[in-house]
Each structure stands twice: as structure tokens, then as C-alpha cells.
Amino acid sequence: MQKTIKQTASCTGIGITGQTDSTVIFHPAPPDTGIVFIREDLPGKPEVPCRPDYARVEARWTSLVNNDIRIEHTEHLLAAIAGLGLDNLKVSVSSPFIPVVSSFSSRGFVQTLLQAGLVLQDRPKRCFHVKEPVCIINPFFHQEKRYDRFLLALPAPELTLTYLLDYPGKEIPTQLAQFSFDNSFDFASELATARSYITESEYETVFKLIGKSIEDCLILAKGPVDLQWDNEPARHKVLDLLGDIHTMGRPVKGHFIGIRTGHKDNNQLCQKLQMQIKEVL
């Protein structure tokens, strides 16, 4: 059955560009509403529904854009919504930017939504099932040598996400993370708290992009780093993938396998999956 929250709840954090605070307010919504963002700071409070054709990747994060109305940095919030199995929410935003919470993880959003209470609704879930394999392959270069990023979606009865993190320069050890989102999976403890990260060599570039919000980011240097799990970076990649898949606007059933991939690859795959939805409809 579809699911929403019992009561309104909110959380606040710094915007991803590090310039100002931002607040999101979660509101219960009727069945079949889906996930709808509301720009409270703009005249008329325009809405941006969560739809794959609105998804954009123009920086190091995912955004939703409808008629120049922007909702920036959606992946960690949408991962929280997807991980908790929520179908219907109105999400009011006080600025273009979803706030950074809990070291660029989903933990703060999950805590807020759980405090609001989850409630079943009298309508069955509307899921999208991957009908046939879809693959994205994108090349990149490291020290003048070509490598490839792979993202594959396969038919499967439940949502399963697999990620192989494999940096050519081995700045981070190769690691694997895989989770199946069935009734036994504890999203809040196993995945929601996985923090975003950057490598030491990326610091200056990322600082220019996100400013002081970099203070909330896990920086992986050559020395020892206090990780929650040995594969926390790979887990965060799974978290990002979950949030980006949820730009589809409804739960997705399928097995997604990513190797070295990121937001742009996730977005490209969702655009291809959208064509399957159109064919099914």
C-alpha cells in the first residue's frame, strides 16, 4: 500500500553552496500525489513534481528543474524518501537548495520523517518495473589512459543496488556495496548514515563549488580516516544512486549495477528508463 507521513515536520541546514541556510518542511499528501516540491520563497509558491524529465546534473549533485524553477541537491532527500518507502509528500523548500544534513548523508531527513510518523494509505503502490536490460557506458581519462563507467539496470522482483567503487589511481581502495530493499533491510541503520566524501586531491576544486559546506564533507586523505564501515564510500554511492533513481517519481523494481558511476550516469539511465515507462503506458 502507498505511504505518507502522519504530520508535518521540518529540518534545516546549510545550502550546498555554503552561502545561506535552507529549510525543508514535509507535509502529508493524498494517495497518488507522488513527491512534489514547493518553492515557498517565490511568488505563487510554484511546484516542481518529481519526474525524470525534470532531472538535471549540472554540477556535483542532482537537481529538478521545471520552467526555470529549480530544486537543487535532491539526491539525499529523495534517498530518504525512497528508503523509507514513502510515496506521497509535499516538500516545501525555503530556497532553491535542499539543505545539507548529517555530513551529506540522509540521516537527518530520515530522523525527521520517522518523527513525523509513517502511515499507510488505502491505495496500492504504483511501481515501475524494469522490463528489459538498459546499459550506460561512459568513458573518462586518468593520466592519459582511458577507463569506462558502467551502469546497468536489469529486471528483478525487488530493488537491488550494487556498486563497485574502483578509482584508477587507487586514492580509495576498491570496494563493493550491495543492498536489496526488501522487508528485512534496515535502511536507516545500514545506508542512510553513509556520508559523502571527496579525495584530498579534489579539495580545492570542490571548495570553490560549495564553499564552507565542505566542512560537512568526509575528506579521504592518505592518513587514517574514521569510517563507519570499511566500504562507507561505496555505500554512499549506493545512497546517491537510490536518490537519483527516485527522480523517476515512483518506486522502481530492478537490479541496478554501477561501476565507477556518478550522478550524470544515473541521470542518463533514468532518461532511458523513462522510455520504457512511455512504452508500458
- What CATH number is associated with residue 202? 3.30.1700.10
Q: CA-CA distance, 48 to 69, in Å (whole number)?
A: 7
| Weakest-pLDDT range from 166-175, 203-212, 253-262 | 203-212
Range of the domain at 116: 3-120
Residue 52, pLDDT score: 92
| Pair 251, 144 in one domain | yes
Contacts of 178 (CB under 8 A, 6+ apart): 160, 161, 162, 163, 238
At residue 278, the pLDDT reads 60
Is 156 in contact with 253 (CB distance < 8 Å)?
yes
Amino acid identity of residue 243, one-letter, is: G
190 and 115 assigned to the same domain: no
Residue 277 has pLDDT above 80, yes or no: no
94 and 172, same structural domain? no
* Judgement on whether residues 57 and 98 belong to the same structural domain of the protein: yes
Exposure of 266 by Cβ count < 10 A (0-12 exposed, 13-18 middle, 19+ buried)?
buried
Looking at the structure, do residues 114 and 134 belong to the same domain, yes or no?
no
Domain count, the chain: 2
Both 14 and 85 in one domain: the answer is: yes
Determine the average pLDDT of the residues in 97-110: 94
Q: Is the pLDDT of residue 224 over 80?
A: no
Q: What is the pLDDT of residue 279?
A: 52
Tens-place pLDDT, residues 42-96: 999 999 999 999 999 988 899 999 999 999 999 999 999 999 999 999 999 999 9
Q: Are residues 218 and 272 in the same domain?
A: yes
- Find out whether 227 and 131 touch, Cβ atoms under 8 Å: no
Residue 265 and residue 157 in one domain: yes
Secondary structure letter of residue 189 according to DSSP = H
Winning range, highest mean pLDDT, from 9-18, 205-214, 262-271 = 262-271
Q: Which of 120, 138, 163 is the last residue of a domain?
A: 120
111 and 137 within one domain: no
pTM: 0.95
> Does residue 276 sit in the same domain as residue 149?
yes
Write the CATH number for 59. 3.30.230.20
Residue ending a domain, among 120, 145, 171, is: 120
Boundary residue ending a domain (120, 149, 181): 120
146 plus 270 within the same structural domain: yes
Question: 132 and 260: one domain?
Answer: yes
